[in-house]
Amino acid sequence: MKSLRLYAILYLIFLYAPIALLPIFAFNDGTVIAFPLKGFTLEWFKELLTIPALHAAVLNSLIIAVSSALIATCLGICAARAGTRFAFPGKKGILGLIMLPLVLPEIIVAVSLLVVLLQLGLPLGSWTVVLGHVLMCTPFSIAILNSAFQSLDVSLEEAAIDLGETRWSSFRLITLPLVMPGIISSLLIAFTISLDEFIIAFFLTGTNPTLPVYIWGQLRFPQKIPVIMALGTILVLASVILLAIAEYFRRRGVARTGQADAGGFL
Amino acid sequence: MIASETGSGAIPMIKLKINIKIKAWPRLGRSEAAQGYFLVAPPFLYALLLLAAPLAAIVLFSFWTQDYLTLDTTLTLKNYREALSDPLYGELLLRSLVISLAVTAATVLTAFPIAYFISFSVPPSRKSMWIFLITIPFWSSYLMRVFLWKVILGYNGVLNTTLTGLGIIDEPLSFILYNANAVVITLAHAYAPFAILPIYVALEKIDRSLLEASRDLGESRVMTFLRVTLPLAMPGVVAAVLIVFIPTIGDYVTPRLVGGPNGLMIANMIQTQFLKLNNAPMGAALAVLAMAMVTAVSLVFLFLNRRYLKGQK
């Protein structure tokens, strides 16, 4: 068991090694990404403030991520509630199709959407990226919301209906507050996925690049790399904060419905 | 004139539909199945229109041909013949398959001990912290992570400059320099949580008293693991294999950044066909072939493991 623990620690180092390099080189006063380090600087972070194309990409990505998160979570609520509460013929197949993007290579989703959009003569733009991102985010929303809805005691809702509430008001007054932590955590996860997603955005974006597409364009220029490291540091930090908040809400949801914590997303 | 006529014709039609709905709902509303269908309809229609239909379209598209900007919609197998006869495409498809298999093997084999450790050695109160620790790197920007591997493994990369600086090696390590090995390392890192989580869930489900029974009946630790733990964990392992293997075949970023010329995969060619060569039908055919290949391998794998999956679902 000792050796297993050692292995686990080495594995964690392997998992965190790339990310640990980000801040090291983001604050390094040298354009070449290599050891030994040159000195401490904030210049790369300052430079981030002076690039209008970057700011436009960030704004674009934020709009896309918020829209995708909202739509995906709404669709996720429908699917998770239908999947956990009701039995109907063909349920497995229907939910299987909805969950399919989880295992489908993203490039397949991207090119198939691209073909259809171009054939229909629709212009590419932020909205086409949202269409693709909702497809990718919904399975994750469903996975999170499933556990929120599953832990729900049906008798609470039935009691509300017996006491004279309508189906809708019992959902609004009883179910919704109980699954709210799950909803918030689903929104945050979907937002993070959409913000980071590259392939679909790469194929479906029009003239306004999203943040990952912008970064991809910059990776070709070696002199831009320290700035990208600074940007990456901020992105990773933002992801970790969002994730920690999502995890907090997920745990609160688990505690609220009184089940044992099985741990983790996915 | 014609427009107004069709317009006036359409309105009663819509009214009729609404009437039917209003009348039908209270009766249907009581049935559980109808409520389920009503709720699942929005995500289902979304997936049908934006996933199933485009996937069908791409299969259709792969039987068309394109000459610069003119699209010929006569159905033909020309793209498939070309894809299977041109050694360039064949090599890319085969290499993608080999890399995906290598990534899957590396990821699942290294992930299993971690999942086992968390499930069996970590006290229950700290389990969710470990799972959280493992998932964090996965949620940071994928593009940045792949790029960082390039920074680590590259010619002037962190690993090589450090090792040369320390005098351990004289010239950069060539076996991880812009080739398929670098792709495997990077993807094994990217898909780690996808492999760990399903195996962990399967291990958590194992009734611990079965292990005690096996030990009490005289089996050694190793034999207990091989004959009780491993077979019971197989559903998780199978899920991990599929969830790593299927998406990796379509990876675009990693081969492009760390693969070098000999580490490129089929997704890079699909992208070139679609966005650079303006030959979408050929790209579609390659996408269909890649998917067919993945599906075939997955089905064989599922068939080989069928005895572990019985009684599941």
The per-residue pLDDT for range A141-160, each reduced to its tens digit, is 999 898 888 878 888 888 88
**Neighboring chain B residues of A142 at a CB cutoff of 8 Å:** 43
Is residue B91 a contact partner of residue B264, using CB atoms and an 8 Å limit? no
Give domain status of residue B79, yes or no. no
Cα–Cα distances (Å) from B116 to B203, B213, B226, B229, in that order, read: 7, 19, 13, 10
Cα–Cα distances (Å) from A212 to A236, B66, B232, B253, in that order, read: 13, 31, 41, 11
Q: Which of A17, A97, A115 sits opposite B51 (nearest CB)?
A: A97
Is residue B62 domain-shared with residue B157, that is, in the same domain? no
- Cα radius of gyration (chain B): 26
Is residue A79 a contact partner of residue B46, using CB atoms and an 8 Å limit? no
Q: What is the largest CA-CA distance in chain B?
A: 91
Predicted pLDDT at A77: 94
Is residue B141 domain-shared with residue B260, that is, in the same domain? yes
Give domain status of residue B81, yes or no. no
A21 with B57: Cβ contact below 8 A: no
Residue B73, helix vs strand vs coil: coil
Residue type, A50: T
Is residue A219 a contact partner of residue A228, using CB atoms and an 8 Å limit? yes
Is residue B171 domain-shared with residue B26, that is, in the same domain? no
Q: Is the pLDDT score of A31 beyond 50?
A: yes
Predicted pLDDT at A133: 95
Give domain status of residue B281, yes or no. yes
On whether any CB of chain B is under 8 Å from the CB of A15, the answer is yes
- Count of CA atoms in the C-beta half-sphere (13 A) of A107: 27
**Neighboring chain A residues of B193 at a CB cutoff of 8 Å:** 266
Helices marked H in chain B: 2-30, 32-47, 53-61, 78-85, 87-120, 124-139, 142-153, 158-165, 180-190, 192-205, 208-216, 221-224, 230-248, 253-258, 266-271, 280-304, 306-309
Q: Which of A87, A100, A116 sits opposite B57 (nearest CB)?
A: A116
Give domain status of residue B184, yes or no. yes
Domain boundaries, position B301:
86-309
Predicted confidence band at B30 (pLDDT cuts at 50, 70, 90)? low
Q: Is the pLDDT score of A34 beyond 90?
A: no
Is residue A103 a contact partner of residue B245, using CB atoms and an 8 Å limit? no
Predicted pLDDT at A211: 93
Give domain status of residue B77, yes or no. no
Mean pLDDT of all residues in B190-216: 91
Specify the range with the lowest mean pLDDT, choosing from B14-23, B51-60, B115-124, B249-258: B14-23
Best CA proximity match to B154, nearest among B181, B168, B172: B172
Q: Is the pLDDT score of A194 beyond 90?
A: yes
Top residue of B116, B141, B241, B302 to mutate, by most chain A CBs within 10 Å, is B141
Is residue B38 domain-shared with residue B178, that is, in the same domain? no
Predicted pLDDT at B25: 45
Q: What is the CATH number of the domain that holds B245?
A: 1.10.3720.10
B271 with A107: Cβ contact below 8 A: yes
Residue B100, helix vs strand vs coil: helix
Is residue A246 a contact partner of residue A182, using CB atoms and an 8 Å limit? no
What ipTM was predicted for this assembly?
A: 0.84
A35 with B55: Cβ contact below 8 A: no
Number of CB atoms found within 10 A of residue A140's CB: 22
In chain A, % of residues over pLDDT 90: 36
Predicted confidence band at B66 (pLDDT cuts at 50, 70, 90)? confident
**Neighboring chain B residues of A74 at a CB cutoff of 8 Å:** 42
**Neighboring chain A residues of B168 at a CB cutoff of 8 Å:** none
- Residue labelled with tokens 């993608």: B96
Top residue of A71, A111, A221 to mutate, by most chain B CBs within 10 Å, is A111
Helices marked H in chain A: 2-26, 43-48, 52-85, 91-99, 106-119, 126-150, 154-162, 167-170, 176-196, 199-204, 211-218, 225-256
Is residue B207 domain-shared with residue B108, that is, in the same domain? yes
Which one of B72, B94, B113 terminates a domain? B72
**Neighboring chain B residues of A14 at a CB cutoff of 8 Å:** 189
Predicted pLDDT at B20: 46
Specify the range with the lowest mean pLDDT, choosing from B30-34, B240-244, B253-257, B266-270: B30-34
Predicted pLDDT at A215: 92
Is residue B188 domain-shared with residue B46, that is, in the same domain? no
Is residue B51 domain-shared with residue B188, that is, in the same domain? no
Mean pLDDT of all residues in A200-212: 90
Is residue B8 domain-shared with residue B113, that is, in the same domain? no
On whether any CB of chain A is under 8 Å from the CB of B234, the answer is no
Specify the range with the lowest mean pLDDT, choosing from A70-79, A123-132, A210-219, A250-259: A250-259
Number of CB atoms found within 10 A of residue B208's CB: 8
On whether any CB of chain B is under 8 Å from the CB of A37, the answer is no
Q: Is the pLDDT score of B142 beyond 70?
A: yes
Q: Is the pLDDT score of B24 beyond 60?
A: no
Rounded to a whole number of angstroms, the distance from the CA of B157 to the nearest CA of chain A is 6
Is residue B53 domain-shared with residue B118, that is, in the same domain? no
Predicted pLDDT at A259: 58
On whether any CB of chain B is under 8 Å from the CB of A87, the answer is yes
A141/B47 Cα distance (integer angstroms): 14
Q: Which of B36, B142, B162 sits opposite A91 (nearest CB)?
A: B36
Q: Mind listing the domains of chain A with CATH numbers?
A: 1-41 (no CATH), 51-256 (1.10.3720.10)
Predicted pLDDT at B9: 43
On whether any CB of chain B is under 8 Å from the CB of A213, the answer is no
B262/B92 Cα distance (integer angstroms): 9
Query: Which residues fall within 8 angstroms of residue B242, CB to CB, at 6 or more apart?
Result: A103, B298, B301, B302
Predicted pLDDT at A260: 53
Number of CB atoms found within 10 A of residue B128's CB: 19
Predicted confidence band at A258 (pLDDT cuts at 50, 70, 90)? low
A196/B192 Cα distance (integer angstroms): 18
The dihedrals phi and psi of A261, each to the nearest 5 degrees, come to -80, 115
Predicted pLDDT at A69: 96
Axis-axis angle for helices B87-120, B280-304 (nearest 10): 40
Q: Is the pLDDT score of B133 beyond 60?
A: yes
Q: Is the pLDDT score of B182 beyond 50?
A: yes
A27/A39 Cα distance (integer angstroms): 8
**Neighboring chain B residues of A94 at a CB cutoff of 8 Å:** 40, 44
Which one of B72, B95, B125 terminates a domain? B72
Top residue of A12, A74, A86 to mutate, by most chain B CBs within 10 Å, is A86
Report the mean per-residue pLDDT for chain A.
86
A35 with B165: Cβ contact below 8 A: yes
Is residue B136 domain-shared with residue B230, that is, in the same domain? yes
On whether any CB of chain A is under 8 Å from the CB of B70, the answer is no
Q: Is the pLDDT score of B18 beyond 80?
A: no
Which one of B72, B104, B133 terminates a domain? B72
Predicted pLDDT at A174: 85
Is residue B90 domain-shared with residue B68, that is, in the same domain? no
Predicted pLDDT at B16: 47
A219 with B147: Cβ contact below 8 A: yes
Is residue B68 domain-shared with residue B119, that is, in the same domain? no
A16/B138 Cα distance (integer angstroms): 10
A33/A226 Cα distance (integer angstroms): 7
Query: Which residues fall within 8 angstroms of residue A125, CB to CB, at 6 or more apart?
Result: A205, A206, A207, A208
Q: Is the pLDDT score of A95 beyond 80?
A: yes
Q: How many domains does chain B have?
A: 2
Q: Which of A21, A106, A119 sits opposite B158 (nearest CB)?
A: A21
B268/B276 Cα distance (integer angstroms): 11
Predicted confidence band at B275 (pLDDT cuts at 50, 70, 90)? confident
Give domain status of residue B199, yes or no. yes
Cα B131 to the center of its chain, rounded Å: 21
Better pLDDT: A5 or A252: A5
A75/B7 Cα distance (integer angstroms): 33
Is there a cis peptide before residue A36, judged by omega within 30 degrees of 0?
yes
